[in-house]
Amino acid sequence: MLTPLLVIQIFSLFVTPVAVGVWFNRRLGLGWSLLFGGTLAFVAAWVIANFVALPGELGLALLSIAQIGALYLVYRFQLRVSSEREALMVGVGLAGIELLLFGILAALSLAQMLPLRDATDETIIELAARIDDVSEEEVSLTRVYELQEDIDDYWSTSWYVPLLQLTQSLAILPIQMALAVIVIGALADNSLRPLLYASVLHFLSRLLPIYGGIFGGVVVWFGLSLICGGIALAFLKRLRLDVQEQTVDLVAP
* pLDDT score of 246: 61
CA distance 14 to 144: 34
Residue 34 CA to residue 89 CA, distance in Å, equals 6
Residue 253 clears pLDDT 50, i.e. is over it: no
Cα gap 100→172, rounded to integer Å: 12
**What's the whole-number mean pLDDT along residues 233-237?**
89
Contact 109, 7 (CB under 8 A): no
Distance CA(34)–CA(127), nearest Å, equals 44
- Residue 143's pLDDT is 84
Domain boundaries, the chain: 2-251
Cα 51 → chain centroid: 19
Mean pLDDT (the chain) is 87
Helix (H) or strand (E) segment spanning residue 82 = none
At 191-212, the pLDDT tens digits run 888 899 999 999 999 999 998 8
Q: How far apart are CA 205 and CA 227, in angstroms?
A: 9
Taking only the tens place, the pLDDT of each residue in 133-184 is: 888 777 888 888 888 888 888 888 888 889 999 999 999 999 999 999 999 8
Burial 135-150 (b: 16+ CB within 10 A, else e): eeeebeeebeeebeee
Does the global pTM surpass 0.85? yes
User: CA-CA distance, 181 to 90, in Å (whole number)?
Assistant: 9
| CA neighbor of 166 nearest in space, from 16, 21, 39 | 16
* pLDDT, tens digit (0-9, with 9 covering 90-100), for 87-97: 889 999 999 99
Listed in sequence order, the residues at least 6 apart from 199 whose beta carbon sits closer than 8 Å to its beta carbon are: 64, 65, 68
- Note whether 199 and 68 are within 8 A (CB): yes
Diameter over CA atoms, the chain: 77
Position 120 scores a pLDDT of: 83
